[in-house]
Chains A and B, each alone.
Chain A
Amino acid sequence: MRIENSGVSSQGSAGNGTSSSVKSVETNGNGVASSVRNGSAKPDTGSNSSSFTMLAPPTPKPSYFGHDREEITRIAIQSLVDLGYHRAAAVLEEESEYTLESPEVSEFRTAVLKGQWSKAEELLFGLEINKDYDVNTLLFYMRQQKFLELLEAREVSKALQVLRTELTPLNQSVEKLHSLSSLMMCLDAEDLKSWAGWDGAAGLSRQHLLSELSSKWTPKIPLNVKQAQISKCLYHNTANSPSLYSDHKCDRNQFPLATVQVLKDHSDEVWFVQFSNDGTRLATSSKDNTVIIWDLEGFEPIHIFKEHLNHVTCVKWSPDDTRLLSCSTDTKAKLWDTRTGECIRTLAAHTDWVSSCAWAPDGLTFVTGSVDREMILWDLDGRDIHRWAGSRIYDLVITPDGQRLAAICTQQKLHVYNFVTREKEYELSLDCELTCISVSKDSRHLLINMSPGEQEAHLPDIETGEVVLLDIETAEVIRRFSGQKQRKYMIRNCFGGADENFVVSGSEDSNVYIWHKENGTLVETLPGHAGMVNCVAWNPANPHMFASAGDDHDVRMWAYDFPNDPPLPNMLRRR
């Protein structure tokens, strides 16, 4: 029903009440206005040209339990598409006047539904296709449909031509090609449909083709909703996806905020700490020239490595946990057998402090970095396979997918290399002292600690450092986390929690800093150490446990405190 508007906007509180031209009112997607943000609403198709006419009811449509109406509707449409309910999605699009797609996608969809194959192929190249998919795979789906439709129409020679000149060159599975060519033997359209399990051009087959194709380019909005929920949950520490049906919240009481054990066997500052990949052991290295491997059942030392002649800067477990690498200011790196405690090799090619090391994901090679301006790639026999020269290295990582080597140097730069070709991809000046680099499990992000450095004496002291999250592919800074205090010491960071939802750093003010990775909030500053916190590490097998290493000679084990639950060792066994 249409009603005459008296000339006073009835948009209520839409904030544009003085306007007499209702058509220009912008609402927050609440329905009736013809101009909706994103420009995604279909144009007002009403026949009225009078600006004083509008659709009933005159009041804005209510929000949906406080959620944006447009957002909810789009999620519903997207979900229907993802579930394969294309007709329902189209009906909802029509009724709500929100469309999900860009004009390009819309046009493509129409071309496919009408069987305009050459147009569809042309449009396909204009779409943003998920880079995990090969365009040829998508082309194959489309040409297969075209081939079947030609057979259905009994245009056998044309079909054969498509098979030979369009399908075969796409280099998809030979088996598929064989089964397609065998369909040429079918006697008629009905025979074809039953052999191919395909319901024909007039059936749902084009719809099925579309859902197959559309999964390759449309963003999965429901996942974004989950991400939004996680970013609102401060203590989110579970790998399970939160339900869409309820507001999601993890309890602070289940977050590792309590020191449950203090490891005291080092006799000087502890500089580095790392969990074994299976989460059952811990390696720590110290200014006291030793490395200790701890058993996390009883928190007792299993091995103490005493062969280094000076401070031990860094330790790293091999991917299978059978080996440990250690780096020292005695200019040597050492490779240890973590079962027997024997030193298997001493790597003596560096001429200055060895600052850092990292394993290749296959465990067959590793890289050491030094302030002598070299990074060296070694094999397990201690042969030096390759050298990257030029920069004095403070810290380095190899991405878990084995594709890249990233290092930070004394000249405030990040250097990223292709680890396969060993060529440099890029370097980036960050204009701050860099003290630590970590990489995310998905190999996409780097976490770098930045210190303002030592200032000239007459300037006010700035001590607050920053941890930056960087996209390794684009070298763009995604987020900055600030608060930790650092000026001249190698303060380290790590990702933490299930799904790496947290960013953690040591600090010169003796606290551990924990931020929420998605929204950047400082979640906790945890006191406990009596001196600088040099290094932090999260247990890769138990999201409820992490460790910190301090100048106070202590290693603190953090977990959550639960008075009525079983004692700690049992909790550690729970995965």
Chain B
Amino acid sequence: MGLAYNVYLNSSRIYGCKGCKTHLSNHEDIISRNFRGQHGKAFLFNTVVNIKEAEPVERNMTTGRHVVRDISCKQCKEIVGWKYDKAYEQPEKYKEGKFILEAELLVNVR
């Protein structure tokens, strides 16, 4: 579908895909560092760029039942985290529409 460039972020601290360096999010967009993913430490981000979202699925997590979808790097297709579509528990609602990126799959880029 034509030549499309990735979105390039311009903050001073940018997280990119470990495999291909594609920009994914800004350090300033981190909402919480207190998450864990399949590869250990993970961060909750307000927004991410250059990702593809998979179909939504229901998943039981330590904080309860959620509807989530995996997100993968648009460039190298590697799965880098997930997005919360819906949280069933009231205290978890703040995560809806937000993204998890796994620290192990990120690298600092410029």
User: Which residue numbers of A lie inside 8 Å of B, CB to CB?
Assistant: 269, 271, 287, 311, 313, 352-353, 355, 371, 373, 392, 394, 410-411, 488-491, 508, 532, 534, 551
Contacts and interface: CB of A to CB of B under 8 A. Distances in A.
A554 B53 CA distance: 31
B3 interface: yes
Interface stretch (B4-12, B34-42, B59-67, B79-87): B4-12
Nearest to A506: B2
A532 B4 CA distance: 12
A532 B1 contact: yes
Contact of A489 (B1, B6, B8, B110): B1
A371 B9 CA distance: 11
Nearest to B110: A373
Contacts of A488: 2, 4
A392 B2 CA distance: 19
Nearest to A351: B21
Contacts of A352: 21
Interface residues of B, number: 10
A411 B10 contact: yes
Contacts of A355: 5
Contacts of A551: 1-2
Interface string B1-27: 111111010100000000001000000
A490 B10 contact: no
Given A313-B3, A394-B5, A532-B1, 14 more contacts: A269-B1, A269-B2, A287-B3, A353-B5, A371-B6, A373-B110, A410-B8, A411-B10, A490-B3, A490-B4, A490-B5, A508-B2, A534-B2, A534-B3
A355 B3 CA distance: 10
A352 B50 CA distance: 15
Contacts, number: 38
Contact of A392 (B1, B3, B8, B21): B8
Interface of B: 1-6, 8, 10, 21, 110
A355 B1 CA distance: 17
Contacts of A313: 3
Contacts of A373: 110
Contacts of A271: 2-3
Nearest to B2: A489
Nearest to A489: B2
A446 to B, nearest CB: 20
13 contacts: A269-B3, A271-B2, A311-B3, A392-B8, A394-B5, A410-B8, A411-B10, A488-B4, A489-B4, A490-B2, A490-B4, A490-B5, A534-B3
A214 B21 CA distance: 63
A551 B8 CA distance: 24
A551 to B, nearest CB: 6
A269 B2 CA distance: 7
Nearest to B3: A490
A409 to B, nearest CB: 9
A371 B5 contact: yes
Contacts of B5: 353, 355, 371, 394, 410, 490
B10 to A, nearest CB: 7
A520 B3 CA distance: 27
B11 to A, nearest CB: 13
A271 B2 CA distance: 7
Contacts of B6: 371
Contact of A371 (B1, B2, B8): B8
Contacts of B110: 373
A437 to B, nearest CB: 15
Contact of A532 (B2, B8, B21): B2
A373 B2 CA distance: 22
A101 B97 CA distance: 69
